[in-house]
Structure 1
């Protein structure tokens, strides 16, 4: 089976949704599929230099290959005429395409090319069909739907959702679709070899509450920060670590940092910026609690990463794997309001033994259910059924 994975960018700076492809591809290759990733050299939307990689030629990696194309002429929108030309010329050599992202010009155009070349394709919306997300730039998105995405959804062999909740609430714009619900995977962390408490100046005698995600309005920091302030007022002693960035909205990122600087929380906070590699793994393993009170989250890959690291999670019921967290007793789930998050964090901080138990539950569940090898088997079965038709 020859598979195309098409994604606007796989730069680390875009976070989990893009990086997912780099977890799936080697797992598919391990299952004897031939995988080619088509992507661009985009590395941020605010003047950052593009990725320093060879362009237009296959790069072999872990049993699969990646072909990068120059972002041009619209770099901000991760668009590539070269990628689309290559797809048009080579689509006949593949059995199926898996396209990641809607409302992204190169992904939308790739779906059109696939239809023109009679190549069946699956769309993964990355949460963009969530009603809350559709409210952002609503008029522009309505036009985009009318011109492009309704046709792309109608022509798709299937829509890939990463949770039942995402599938349940997602818009289809009047189109009937075949839905696939297949979760994202996580890579089990290696043994922690880096002491991030020393690296980032985190106190060794205080429980660590970790937020590690994109610094974005939808992530619920406007709930979390006042909740943490209330905990300090009531006498809890902890250390908060804010790990993340937002190259697409640096103004909001500065706003959050300024809010912490002007708060009593400042003396109890470490802001690390974007972390990856050993530092990321070590932070996840060092934290006593991982917290993400998002207003909407189609899956919550950061939550799954915390779980596989053995860290209990405190999340909102708008993170769409919340039911798995509840069922496996891997953490605490509340609503998107300050008092709910205060209540959950209080319960967790008052009972370190319960935190430890739920952390062990989280790791066990994640290893069993978010394994890339197991997910690859589900994906291949879906591909095979589509190709047969």
Structure 2
């Protein structure tokens, strides 16, 4: 069985979804699945420095990169149009037994599904939260038209939708697409332990040895609920803590974050490293004490898995899909999306650090039991087989 995955971008600037797909493909290869990836050289405002129009080994995955059209207009650039990707898909998509398409409202995803339909190649669609209520409310008219005129037929012809949480499945059902779906979470790639991470992080940040660190690590965007989290931290200035705000966003929104920090009176105890990756990202995860994500909407949240796998005490608001798992399994804390409720939860965690730490340890064990890429890949391999075999027999 030969599987082609298509995604608009694998650039780090595109966040968790791109990295999750790479993690999945590496796990599938370890299971003996013949997978390849087709994508563009998009990396947000920049372009990836990769070879184009040929199969290359990218992060241990056979990958075809094609040039993204890069005009000055950001809206067109974000669409990730690629003429040569279109030509390649038209000429080669029939060489694959199955196509797994990631994302939505982006040219590579749209054209991959359209060509697969025309060439009668079965495909799976994984929207990664882009069919959830909050996402569809952003640029609402444009997305409604795009969904009605183009994507609805693409989605309806897919073998099924692969969704990452029950919450995402419930919201997608409201669209009445009449497509079968399967809920399968994303997995986590666990970093190697860093010796004395807690001590090393405090030394690097020039903090007292026992200073509690509260970590936020995500794209800086208004859906992340920083207008609740930062004022909540401002209510805790009587307690010792350092807030690490890791991530970047548009210049306008970063200015809004500056104003929030100043108004809350925590600018001097906030460390802002910007977008983090590699060993420093691992050090932040392994050396912090608490992880907080107060998003209005997250269909999954890869960084949540990473924080839990590192043993951090995790605080999520209900809009994060994994919040239901935290509550059901008692693996963290889920305050309402409300400044006072978040402040109360954080205060409890800071004042009851031993109890909070035991919750983080329990979460870490749970992640290793249920959310490794190896476990997820085995389930996807079975799904691929269930699709490919009947089609092969019928043909």
Does residue 141 of structure 1 match 2:166?
A: no
Query: What is the number of residues matched between the two proteins?
Result: 382
- Equivalences for residues 149-188 of structure 1 within 5 A: 149-170=151-172, 173-188=175-190
Does residue 242 of structure 1 match 2:239?
A: no
- Equivalences for residues 38-117 of structure 1 within 5 A: 38-45=38-45, 48=46, 50-61=47-58, 64-72=61-69, 74-117=76-119
SS of residue in 2 equivalent to 1:310: coil
Q: Give the corresponding residue for 1:119.
A: 121
Separation in structure 2 between the aligned mates of residue 330 and residue 270 of structure 1, nearest angstrom? 27
Does residue 25 of structure 1 match 2:25?
A: yes
TM-superposed deviation, 1:34:
0.6
Does residue 199 of structure 1 match 2:211?
A: no
Separation in structure 1 between the aligned mates of residue 302 and residue 90 of structure 2, nearest angstrom? 32
TM-score, scaled relative to structure 1: 0.94
Q: Give the corresponding residue for 1:348.
A: 349
Separation in structure 2 between the aligned mates of residue 221 and residue 292 of structure 1, nearest angstrom? 9
Separation in structure 1 between the aligned mates of residue 270 and residue 327 of structure 2, nearest angstrom? 28
Q: 1:129 aligns with which of 131, 137, 142?
A: 131
Q: Give the corresponding residue for 2:6.
A: 6
SS of residue in 1 equivalent to 2:63: strand
SS of residue in 1 equivalent to 2:357: helix
SS of residue in 2 equivalent to 1:240: strand
Q: Give the corresponding residue for 1:252.
A: 253
Question: Is the CA contact (8 Å cut-off) linking 2:332 and 2:363 kept in structure 1?
Answer: yes
TM-score, scaled relative to structure 2: 0.93
Q: Give the corresponding residue for 2:73.
A: none
Q: Give the corresponding residue for 2:300.
A: 299
TM-superposed deviation, 1:63:
5.6
- Deviations for 1:233-286, whole angstroms, at most 9, x for unmatched residues? xx211110000012xx33112211233245410111101100001100110111
Structure 1: gaps of 5 or more residues: none
Change (3 A) 1:164 1:34: same
**CA RMSD after TM alignment:** 1.6
Per mean C-alpha deviation after superposition, the further-off stretch among 84-93 and 295-304 is 84-93
- Deviations for 1:151-179, whole angstroms, at most 9, x for unmatched residues? 11111111111111111122563320110
SS of residue in 2 equivalent to 1:348: helix
- Deviations for 1:313-339, whole angstroms, at most 9, x for unmatched residues? 000111101122123322101211111
Separation in structure 1 between the aligned mates of residue 142 and residue 59 of structure 2, nearest angstrom? 40
Structure 2: gaps of 5 or more residues: 71-75, 391-395
